[in-house]
Chain A
């Protein structure tokens, strides 16, 4: 079964740091780009970051650039999101999601497999 399992969410004070992990199974992890997305309580989805299959290319939303770092370990089938200088507005459920296709021109921006999400709460 194709599956993503996030962990690492917690209650943290503003200015703090947190690392989220997402372990993949059931597919060739090293072949697919991976995304992190988030959803604040009662709000819509927000794309956060993307990492290419090799880890050589990374992209970030303006709202997190310079504070968050995405990385991956293809030997451990795991993608990470290192979050620092956390703000109250970073409070959300964080999802990792698999890029739809290994074909660059197919399904740009689309994610077909999502984890169950992990809650990050930034509050004093």
Chain B
């Protein structure tokens, strides 16, 4: 069982916006704002989309945004495109001996 909780699936139509939540205990987030989001297409390695809650690595579309409130982090994808269909994983740096915890992943379907 994963430490962080994500919905198993979400869906949206092209052009719409969707939000994926990621909920955990206070200890899962520690005192850090170090939540990351990864996109993973079938059979491929994960790709970093968001780090430190809301920062995008170079090359990631600004259609992807992140936020956090309390013990829930969120990934929002605006202007959905067919290529956004993938699994999305959240993770958090805990600062404890188990450095990083993940959610179970969310399958995004673009209708």
Contact = CB atoms under 8 A, between A and B. Distances in A.
B86 to A, nearest CB: 13
A11 interface: no
Given A44-B2, A44-B103, A45-B102, A112 B57 contact: yes
Contact of B51 (A50, A107, A115, A116): A107
B39 to A, nearest CB: 11
Given A100-B48, A100-B57, A108 B102 contact: no
B76 to A, nearest CB: 18
Contact of A109 (B36, B40, B46): B36
Contact of B34 (A46, A62, A107): A107
B18 interface: no
Interface residues of A, number: 25
Contacts of B97: 59-60, 62, 65
Contacts of B95: 108
Nearest to A42: B105
Contacts, number: 77
Q: Chain A: interface secondary structure? A: loop
Interface in A46-73: 46-47, 50, 59-62, 65
Contacts of B104: 43-44
A45 B105 contact: yes
**Interface residues on chain B, size class:** 20 to 34
A47 B2 CA distance: 11
A11 B34 CA distance: 36
A59 to B, nearest CB: 5
Interface in B71-111: 89, 91-95, 97-105
A2 interface: no
A35 B57 CA distance: 18
B51 A110 contact: yes
A1 to B, nearest CB: 14
16 contacts: A44-B103, A44-B104, A45-B40, A45-B46, A45-B91, A45-B102, A50-B100, A59-B98, A61-B98, A100-B51, A107-B52, A108-B95, A109-B91, A110-B51, A111-B36, A112-B57
